Structure 1
């Protein structure tokens, strides 16, 4: 099963993260009306993790999953562009001062497990290191838990794990509890600390598959608007809470669930091919953002586009963003999709 209206939301989250990394100095995103949104837009990664858990259930729940075939398909999906981003980063750095340990951990997607290594090399890649842990865990979860245990028991365990994760995470980042070897900063990126997001997405998918078919044809747009406004309130008034570890699942879960069920006008529009395509290239946008910014230096913007970033910050950002989207489209069509097919065929 494929739920098209969810695909475009990945594009929105990816663009928000790009703004968080590179666009917050622009007056377009730093004014008093919206700056609180983009200063917290890294929560888009948390949305990716919850959505990933949901999509995995929708795609595979009715199957007895083969560990090798599943990982091969996941590898084919994420690794070609992931390694391309590392290569481009290395070229952009002209191979100077490259730490061999960092390079090894990034190529093997293990960086998030090691202290002070998560954001080395192409730093958005830390989330793919986390995703790899999810992927390796999922066949076991599906074959031995989700397909064999009652939904009630699964719900209790996952919600309990989610709650414990939130309490432990906040205890660590506010120095009420420490973890040997790891720094507080390491905890932001550690796979175990983000596992609750994937699991809560799995649980949402399990409930979605068991829902009444009548719910498919309802208009949930008013509910979705209220949820979006609630999200804005949470981002505006954080009251000491940190949302990097899945706390916003309280909003992301109902958004994903209701958007999947809704047959409103907006859902129909974002299910159209152009919007779905933008969602499909969101992974490339996310993982290639740093190499693109690395190549498009202030000097090159001035030389080829006549832009002075000190005076035209917003325009410089938009030019880079446009090039990132175009390049990501090219990568999706001519690198990601063809290599995915070849890997699946030959292996």
Structure 2
């Protein structure tokens, strides 16, 4: 396959370096959570929310990339194209998520007990029990419909890190309308208008004292999606890069300390370089590495890794802390917990990939064929990306 960024005239079928990029994002989240639950700390790597931001940036880029690839054979002014898009995305996320949701709800009480022990051992405030063990019909219904991200009381209420899946589904819901708006205003003006509207909503939430435990409500993270959209819409466009840098500095939607802002800016610049300047020696070497076979599989298993790792991490970290871990330095605890959790997580992610994810995508394609909504269209990297 050719490498390089998509262009309006001749988009490529695959951007191989993005496999490794999403794999790194998932591994970043896993490592960051391992640090948090062992009391260890490293700058940047100890902030899993930055790994989520990288996923969100990727999602905005790849949904736009998919649109550019498909736009000459799919009419995005037609609702049937929107339905096909939504069905593809539903069957990408749900076949693995729903079984894991059932497991998480069943073991939630045990995970909460582990978390209580970890927080007590590390001298941290305890979390509410319903954060892990809410088996109410309302909570289950919210998660089965992906509506939980819209409501502060349900946005972060399972043992899974699934708040970002609700966020992702909200982005998929509005993406066709962004495409329609782009057709009228152009990419840059559309992005400015939508970003300002989202900023106004964020300010309104603050004025009304409505606080989400995680930025699961789309207006709180839409600026990061929009940064990815701008980079995909016009490769090597300096104005779009500047606009994306400004968007990534918006002071809401997560931690806004100086380090987080600097790292987010570095992420958007590095991402812009990797997808647009692969002909340069250094960037090309990085891109080829990210597109190599090991990184390819790291990317393929990234979604499973993201969803599964907390179910493994809590009991492992609690066991280590209970069996002499508190007498050891935090670095020792992390180096003990991390490899065990990583090996178990990726092993289970591989099973989920072959047993649930791949068959789930096939179910979606068959449904599209039956509905005559474009199920035979090729699968690009964009159809495989997920944001944690």
Q: 1:55 aligns with which of 62, 79, 94?
A: 62
Q: Residues 73-93 of structure 1: CA distance to partner in whole angstroms, max 9, x if unpaired? A: 111111111112212212323
Q: Is contact 2:38-2:317 (8 Å) kept?
A: no
1:149 is matched with 184
2:70 counterpart of 1:70: no
Q: Is contact 1:11-1:282 (8 Å) kept?
A: yes
Tell me by how many angstroms 1:275 deviates.
1.0
Aligned runs of 1:102-181 on 2, under 5 Å? 102-142=139-179, 144-146=180-182, 148-149=183-184, 151=186, 154-159=187-192, 161-162=194-195, 177-179=206-208
Tell me by how many angstroms 1:192 deviates.
1.7
2:157 is paired with a residue of what secondary structure? coil
Query: Which is worse superposed, 246-255 or 66-75?
Result: 246-255
Aligned runs of 1:292-307 on 2, under 5 Å? 292-294=312-314, 296=316, 298-299=318-319
Q: Is contact 1:309-1:316 (8 Å) kept?
A: no
Q: 1:280 aligns with which of 279, 282, 300?
A: 300
- The number of equivalent residue pairs is 302
2:226 counterpart of 1:199: yes
Q: CA RMSD in A?
A: 3.4
Tell me by how many angstroms 1:339 deviates.
1.9
Q: Is contact 1:25-1:313 (8 Å) kept?
A: no
1:99 is matched with 136
Aligned runs of 1:183-332 on 2, under 5 Å? 183=211, 185-186=212-213, 188-208=215-235, 240-241=257-258, 243=260, 250-261=265-276, 262-263=278-279, 264-294=284-314, 296=316, 298-299=318-319, 309-310=325-326, 311=328, 313-314=333-334, 315-332=336-353
Q: Residues 112-151 of structure 1: CA distance to partner in whole angstroms, max 9, x if unpaired? A: 1112221101341110101101111112222x223x2354
TM-score by length of 1: 0.75
Tell me by how many angstroms 1:309 deviates.
4.5
2:169 is paired with a residue of what secondary structure? helix
Change (3 A) 1:68 1:156: closer
Unaligned runs of 5+ in 2: 1-12, 111-132, 239-244, 249-254, 369-388
Q: What CA distance in whole angstroms lies between the structure 2 residues aligned with 1:149 and 1:260?
A: 27
TM-score by length of 2: 0.68
Q: What CA distance in whole angstroms lies between the structure 2 residues aligned with 1:10 and 1:239?
A: 23
Q: Is contact 2:91-2:360 (8 Å) kept?
A: yes
Q: What CA distance in whole angstroms lies between the structure 2 residues aligned with 1:130 and 1:249?
A: 19
